[in-house]
């Protein structure tokens, strides 16, 4: 069997502290059982609040409970009604004066216990275990985690033989005492059996007398990137419209949208694609000599109306020579005056 050490207990007294802080000589076993029952009852009662850890202090005959949670509003309740009710129940059960402190977990994606519980909850809802593991790993790395390892064991996908699957991303120095390694364990109760979920997260190094190296406590939360859909690959912003060109007499002029807004008359864009100015000048130069040569070579065509007129004149000519009809003498026009 593999000899594996609990990452939390391995670092007790070096970079980690105890989660139950008190001292007793006579009633040690009784107080220890009271602590264990208290933590189990709080986890069951506050299952929907995302409880990461419960710490117990016993100053004198008092009891101080510190709850680290990602949803403090559920524990506190409206105007503190829920936390007062919880305090009264614990005082009645332990027969001591109880104080409850609530600490919020700002980044639940980096808390190993909360990550393990979220994967176990997804497995109970029949989500594919590989998908749930990859989603947890990607979200932890996106929030700045230095390394994460997730392991699930049991009858995965309802298989007859139990097996283990795990994913590891980044670095995870398990044997480095100054490394801030968090560990969490949860169980998923499925119809085929129990599936265990373990999670390790590495957040940086803790050096005595200095601040944490590569600290994640004060880092701003990153913005969530939009999901990339393989079916839809469209640009985020439409390209700007192309500039409209017109061809007035004297050369091509390129107009910008700002110029169009100042002109009152709208300009209709050309159907053909715009041509460069040098190409248009060559077109105008070659068009002039071609038009002149065509006008010289082409002869004037005879009109259609001239042919019937000539035929009528030839037909009426013999009749006029044969018998001239007497016509009345027309008066002569007066001579034009000489200037």
CA dihedral of 217, 221, 227, 228, whole degrees rounded to 10: -80
> What is the reported pLDDT for 242?
66
Instruction: Read off φ and ψ for residue 336, nearest 5 degrees.
Output: -75, 145
Which segments of the chain have a pLDDT < 50?
A: 214-215, 217-218, 229-230, 252, 260-261, 303-306, 309, 311-312, 317-318, 322, 339
> What is the reported pLDDT for 312?
47
Q: How far is CA 305 from the centre of its chain?
A: 81
The residue behind tokens 């398990």 is 174
Residues 102, 69: contact at Cβ < 8 Å? yes
> What is the reported pLDDT for 11?
92
Single out the residue of 139, 162, 137 nearest to residue 150, CA to CA.
137
Residues 46, 100: contact at Cβ < 8 Å? no
What gap in Å lies between CA 7 and CA 236, rounded to an integer? 45
The residue behind tokens 């929030």 is 143
> What is the reported pLDDT for 215?
47
| Helix or strand (DSSP H, E) at 318 | helix 306-322
pTM: 0.61
């Amino acid at each position: 069997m593999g000899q594996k050490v609990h990452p939390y207990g391995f670092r007790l007294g070096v970079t980690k502290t105890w989660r139950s802080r008190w001292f007793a000589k006579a009633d040690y076993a009784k107080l220890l059982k009271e602590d264990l029952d208290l933590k189990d009852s709080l986890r069951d009662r506050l299952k929907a609040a995302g409880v990461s850890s419960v710490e117990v202090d016993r100053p004198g005959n008092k009891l101080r409970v510190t709850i680290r949670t990602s949803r403090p509003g559920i524990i506190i309740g409206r105007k503190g009604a829920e936390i007062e009710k919880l305090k009264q129940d614990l005082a009645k059960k332990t027969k001591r004066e109880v104080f409850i402190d609530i600490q919020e977990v700002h980044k639940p994606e980096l808390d190993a216990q909360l990550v393990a519980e979220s994967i176990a909850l997804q497995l109970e809802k029949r989500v594919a275990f590989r998908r749930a593991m990859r989603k947890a790993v990607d979200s932890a790395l996106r929030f700045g985690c230095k390394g994460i390892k997730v392991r699930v064991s049991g009858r995965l996908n309802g298989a007859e033989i139990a097996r283990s699957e795990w994913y590891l991303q980044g670095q995870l120095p398990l044997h480095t005492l100054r490394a801030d390694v968090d560990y969490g364990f949860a169980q998923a109760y499925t119809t085929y059996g129990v599936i265990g979920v373990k999670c390790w997260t590495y957040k940086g190094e803790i050096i005595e007398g200095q601040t944490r190296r590569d600290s994640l406590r004060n880092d701003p939360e990153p913005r969530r990137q939009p999901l990339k859909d393989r079916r839809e690959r469209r640009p985020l912003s439409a390209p700007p419209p192309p500039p409209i060109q017109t061809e007035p007499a004297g050369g091509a002029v390129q107009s910008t949208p700002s110029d169009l807004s100042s002109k009152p008359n709208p300009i209709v864009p050309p159907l053909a694609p715009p041509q460069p100015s040098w190409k248009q000048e060559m077109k105008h130069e070659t068009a002039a000599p071609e038009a002149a040569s065509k006008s010289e070579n082409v002869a004037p065509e005879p009109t259609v109306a001239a042919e019937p007129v000539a035929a009528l004149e030839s037909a009426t000519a013999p009749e006029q020579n044969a018998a001239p009809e007497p016509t009345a003498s027309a008066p002569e026009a007066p001579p034009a005056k000489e200037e």
